[in-house]
Chains A and B, each alone.
Chain A
Amino acid sequence: MGIDMIIFTVLSAIAIAAALGVILSKNPVNSVLCMITCFVAIAGHYIMLNAQFLFVVHLIVYTGAIMVLFLFVLMMMNLNADIEPQKRNWLKYAGAISGGALLLVLVAALRDASLPAIQGGGNTEIGLVENLGKTLFTSYVVPFELSSVLFLSAMVGAVVIGKK
Chain B
Amino acid sequence: MEFTIDWYFLIEKLLLISAVLGISLVVAMYSTWGERKVAAWIQDRRGPNRAGPFGLLQPLADGGKLFFKEEIIPAEANRFLFILGPSLAMFTACLTSAVIPWGDSLTIGGREVSLQIADINIGVLWIMAVVGMGVYGIMIGGWASNNKFSLLAACRGASQVISYELPMGLALIALFMLSGSLSLKDIVEQQRDGLWFVVLQPIGFLIFLICAFAECNRTPFDLPEAENELNGGYHLEYSSMKLGFYLFAEYINMFISSVLMATLYFGGYAFPYMDSLGIDGNLLTVLGIGALFIKTLFFIFLFMWVRWTIPRFRYDQLMKLGWKVLIPLALLNMLITGAVVLFRQNGFNF
Contact B121–A63 (Cβ < 8 Å):
no
Q: Is B136 an interface position by the 8 A CB rule?
A: yes
Contacts of A36 in B (CB 8 A): 136
Contact A59–B132 (Cβ < 8 Å):
yes
Binary B-proximity of A28-71 (CB < 8 A = 1, otherwise 0)? 01000100100000000000000011011101100111001001
CB-CB under 8 A for A68 and B129, given A1-B1, A2-B3, A53-B122? no
CB-CB under 8 A for A29 and B143, given A56-B122, A129-B121? yes
Contact A65–B132 (Cβ < 8 Å):
yes
CA distance A55 to B128 in the complex (A): 12
Binary A-proximity of B100-136 (CB < 8 A = 1, otherwise 0)? 0000000000000000000011100110110111011
Contacts of B126 in A (CB 8 A): 56
Q: Is A81 an interface position by the 8 A CB rule?
A: no
Residue of B nearest to A55 (CB): B122
Residue of A nearest to B151 (CB): A75
Q: Is A140 an interface position by the 8 A CB rule?
A: no
Q: Is B81 an interface position by the 8 A CB rule?
A: yes
Of listed A57, A60, A63, A128, residue having the most chain B CB within 10 A: A60
Contact B121–A60 (Cβ < 8 Å):
no
CB-CB under 8 A for A52 and B155, given A29-B143, A63-B133? no
Residue of B nearest to A36 (CB): B136
Contact A64–B133 (Cβ < 8 Å):
yes
Contacts of A72 in B (CB 8 A): 139, 155, 158
Contacts of B151 in A (CB 8 A): 75
Of listed B1, B122, B154, residue having the most chain A CB within 10 A: B122
Q: Is A3 an interface position by the 8 A CB rule?
A: yes
Contact A64–B132 (Cβ < 8 Å):
yes
CA distance A128 to B121 in the complex (A): 7
Contact A57–B133 (Cβ < 8 Å):
no
Residue of A nearest to B165 (CB): A64
Contacts of A59 in B (CB 8 A): 129, 132-133
Contact A68–B143 (Cβ < 8 Å):
no
- Chain A stretch 56-102: residues in CB contact (< 8 A) with chain B: 56-57, 59-60, 63-65, 68, 71-72, 75-76
Contact B128–A60 (Cβ < 8 Å):
yes
Question: Taking beta carbons and an 8 Å cutoff, which residues of A are in contact with B?
Answer: 1-3, 29, 33, 36, 52-53, 55-57, 59-60, 63-65, 68, 71-72, 75-76, 128-130
Question: Taking beta carbons and an 8 Å cutoff, which residues of B are in contact with A?
Answer: 1, 3-5, 78, 81, 120-122, 125-126, 128-129, 131-133, 135-136, 139-140, 143, 151, 154-155, 158, 162, 165, 182
